[in-house]
Amino acid sequence: MSGNGDAAATAEENSSKMRVIRVGTRKSQLARIQTDSVVATLKTLYPGLQFEIIAMSTTGDKILDTALSKIGEKSLFTKELEHALERNEVDLVVHSLKDLPTVLPPGFTIGAICKRESPYDAVVFHPKFVGKTLETLPEKSVVGTSSLRRAAQLQRKFPHLEFKSIRGNLNTRLRKLDELQEFSAIILAAAGLQRMGWQNRVGQILHPEECMYAVGQGALGVEVRAKDQDILDLVGVLHDPETLLRCIAERAFLRHLEGGCSVPVAVHTAMKDGQLYLTGGVWSLNGADSMQETMQATIHVPAQHEDGPEDDPQLVGITAWNIPRRAQLAAESLGISLATLLLNKGAKNILDVARQLNDAH
């Protein structure tokens, strides 16, 4: 390398020592693993930058004796992290995308959606039931899940089982399953088990015909300050185009339905030959009433950005400068169209009743 090159490298080194990017995360082991994976990718992309991880507890981590759907707070796992972003204590926060509401507080945006891992739900069985499936579990077996969405769909599909709320992080739930003799099985997101390296505990993967997944499940979202262009540029390269477009459609569907974790709403998306397929459904709490439909739209997964900048780039809380706007709008429109179709067929009544029953219990 020439003398000038050495000087430039030294200057870059010195300037990079001054730049530390602070990354916020929840304290759970899974949250740390997810954040570490995003930071590792950023370190590879930006070897000149330093990254500091700051872990904190959220409301959802602290309230462990109440079902998520009863707490009535949309930002259970995000609020404290957003406060840290607002106060400039961190520069970006890594979340499970399914924890991020479809409407973010003013001043925040999702600056990156990373490539999705398996979006499906998985069944982990008590050691004495290893080798079974939900179908072959004994009558009145108790299955633990923290999700109304899972319970509603599975009650409908497996009426011989009983479903009971189970809270806590993955470690806590697995311990409750193995030690308490209360549950025959528990339902967890397959992606979380994969990230923890616990694939060997998965006894059954639930496919969409058995249990459709939560909006954004299996994907990680990076939340940043909406006006922090430096950080938006930094994390924007993490966007996975297919995951982004699928999740825009899913989030638009949920937002237009005005669903949340207090009502059973589920989705399934697929991208094939330039077509984005979106299946969405709503259920009553006990699964007896349900409605689901599928729609598709032509969306070409882009190789690179081809449109000019927008005044308000956000769609369902997401900013993606480097993905063509037309593709994003088509995905959003698909989600809204499917939600409108279900609402026109009476989905609002199912959701209203589910919400009232959930609030009453």
Catalytic residue numbers, as ranges: 99
Q: Classify strands 142-144 and 50-56 as parallel, antiparallel or unpaired.
A: unpaired
Kindly tell me the burial class for residue 305, based on how many C-beta atoms sit within 10 Å of its own C-beta (0-12, 13-18, 19 or more).
middle
Backbone angles phi, psi at 270, to 5 degrees: -150, 145
Cα–Cα distance, 88 to 225 (Å, whole number) = 9
Backbone angles phi, psi at 89, to 5 degrees: -80, -25
H-run or E-run covering 290: strand 290-298
* Among candidate residues 192, 187, 182, the one with its CA nearest the CA of residue 204: 187
Measured torsion, CA atoms of residues 222, 227, 228, 232, in degrees rounded to the nearest 10: 50
CB atoms within 10 A of CB 52: 11
Cα–Cα distance, 43 to 144 (Å, whole number) = 38
DSSP state of 27: S
CB atoms within 10 A of CB 60: 22
Alpha helix ranges (H) inside the chain: 3-18, 29-45, 59-62, 68-71, 79-86, 148-157, 170-180, 190-196, 229-236, 241-257, 325-344, 347-360
Helix (H, G, I), strand (E, B) or coil at 201: helix
